[in-house]
Amino acid sequence: MVEESEKKGLEINKKKSFAMIFSKSATKPTCNITVKGEPLEQMDQFTYLGSVVTTDAKSDQEIKRRIGIAKTAYKKMTRVLESKSVTTATRLRLLKCYVWSMLLYCCE
């Protein structure tokens, strides 16, 4: 990959590049990927496009993270969402817009 990218005038940034192996086995497999003789760091998890990706390819950690983000969003809007001076329809629209969207991001 390094050779082909250099042919096009591109260079791989070793500081921003990582390696990850997806495996369902109990033992953690290792990989030895090098760029110009320097090994890439192997990650157990990382955030990609707003979602946490883990080596076991499960969504448990991402689901817990999303629930926490939604709770935080709800707590920030508690005064408005529990206010009797705001109509129920408006509170429901705010809940769907600001809380549910945080919870359901990337769930499809």
pLDDT of residue 32: 86
How, if at all, do strands 41-42 and 18-19 pair? parallel
Which of these, 36, 30, 32, lies nearest to 14 by C-alpha position?
Answer: 36
Tokens standing for 51?
A: 């979602």
**Average pLDDT over all residues of the chain:** 88
Structure-derived torsion over alpha carbons of residues 11, 21, 67, 50, reported in degrees to the nearest 10 = 10
Q: List, for residues 4-14, the tens digit of each pLDDT value.
A: 888 999 988 88
Residues 59-105 have pLDDT tens digits of 888 899 999 999 999 999 999 999 999 999 999 999 999 999 989 88
Instruction: Looking at the structure, tell me whether residues 39 and 64 fall in a common domain.
Output: no
Residue 66, burial from CB neighbour count under 10 angstroms (0-12, 13-18, 19+):
buried
Please check whether residues 89 and 65 belong to one and the same domain. Answer: yes
What is the domain extent for residue 75? 59-108
Q: Is residue 80 part of a domain?
A: yes
Residues 25-43, mean pLDDT to the nearest whole number = 84
Of 95, 100, 20, 96, whose CA–CA distance to 66 is shortest?
100
The mean pLDDT value for 47-52 works out to 85
Same structural domain, 76 and 40: no
Give the pLDDT band (50/70/90) at residue 44.
confident
